């Protein structure tokens, strides 16, 4: 079995870092997290990585300075900038340091995974494949394009609808807590996000209402179970 691709994730927002780590691991990558530029450089020098994900605004050493230092020491390793600032000069500075890609927050996790896969394919060849399609009862779910297809009809999904459905498919027939859903999709468990999630869960129930094989069950006081009455993924 080929070894997992190793990613160095440098992100000072600890909640964001946790969510990215969970999604990257689910996609088949090995992940090392650090929260400031100086520590990231220490980690980078300790072992080889296949790709670096670098936030721009970092304590102790900003992402551009970190990338420049990494590039001087290693001409080959690819890196992608993650930033909340959609400023042209920042993008230009990022590419001047040798960045392979630049993605602005907030971003869809499936888009990030696709970009990581594309960068690694150019540099390394074999990388973990992102599922292009998942089967669910009478439906086909396309994570990258956020589409739900039944027969000849295609339903375009919002980013949060797609993220929730993806979690339910990957954990079908298993209990998922409200807290887990909120942390993975919204990034924080609070009153307003909880109310927002209830709206999205109602939409998802309506999407699958015509398929008797699929039921989104509310386990009172605990969470949810997406019941699939036949093997469909």
Write down the residue that tokens 């074999």 correspond to: 126
> Cα–Cα distance between 152 and 189 in angstroms, integer?
37
Tens of pLDDT, residue by residue over 100-142, are: 888 888 788 888 888 888 888 777 655 555 566 888 878 888 8
Q: Dihedral sign, CA of 145, 105, 92, 55?
A: negative
Spell out the residues 6+ positions from residue 206 whose beta carbon is closer than 8 angstroms to its own: none
Mean pLDDT, residues 47-73 taken together:
89
pLDDT score for 86 = 66
DSSP state, residue 215: E
Tens of pLDDT, residue by residue over 64-103, are: 889 889 888 888 888 898 887 666 666 677 677 777 888 8
- pLDDT confidence tier of residue 145, bands split at 50, 70 and 90: confident
Quick check: 77 and 99 in contact, CB under 8 A? no
Q: What is the mean pLDDT of the chain?
A: 84
| Distance between first and last Cα of the chain | 23
């Amino acid at each position: 079995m080929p070894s997992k691709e190793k990613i160095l994730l440098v992100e000072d927002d600890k909640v964001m870092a946790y969510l990215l780590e969970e999604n990257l691991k689910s996609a088949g990558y090995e992940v090392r997290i650090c929260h400031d530029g100086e520590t990231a450089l220490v980690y980078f020098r300790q072992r080889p990585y296949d790709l670096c994900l670098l936030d721009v605004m970092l304590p102790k050493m900003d992402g551009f300075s970190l990338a420049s230092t990494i590039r001087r020491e290693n001409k080959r390793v690819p890196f992608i900038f993650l930033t909340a600032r959609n400023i042209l000069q920042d993008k230009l500075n990022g590419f001047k340091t040798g960045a392979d890609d630049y993605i602005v927050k907030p971003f869809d996790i499936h888009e990030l995974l696709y970009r990581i896969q594309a960068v690694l394919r150019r540099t390394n060849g074999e990388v973990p494949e992102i599922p292009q399609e998942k089967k669910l009862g009478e439906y086909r779910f396309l994570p990258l394009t956020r589409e739900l297809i039944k027969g000849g009809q295609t339903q375009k999904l919002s980013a949060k609808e797609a993220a929730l459905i993806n979690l339910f498919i990957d954990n079908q027939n298993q209990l998922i807590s409200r807290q887990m859903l909120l942390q993975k999709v919204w990034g924080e468990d609070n009153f307003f996000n909880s109310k927002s999630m209830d709206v999205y869960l109602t939409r998802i129930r309506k999407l699958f209402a015509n398929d008797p094989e699929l039921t989104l069950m509310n386990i009172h006081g605990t969470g949810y179970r997406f019941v699939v009455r036949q093997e469909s993924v």
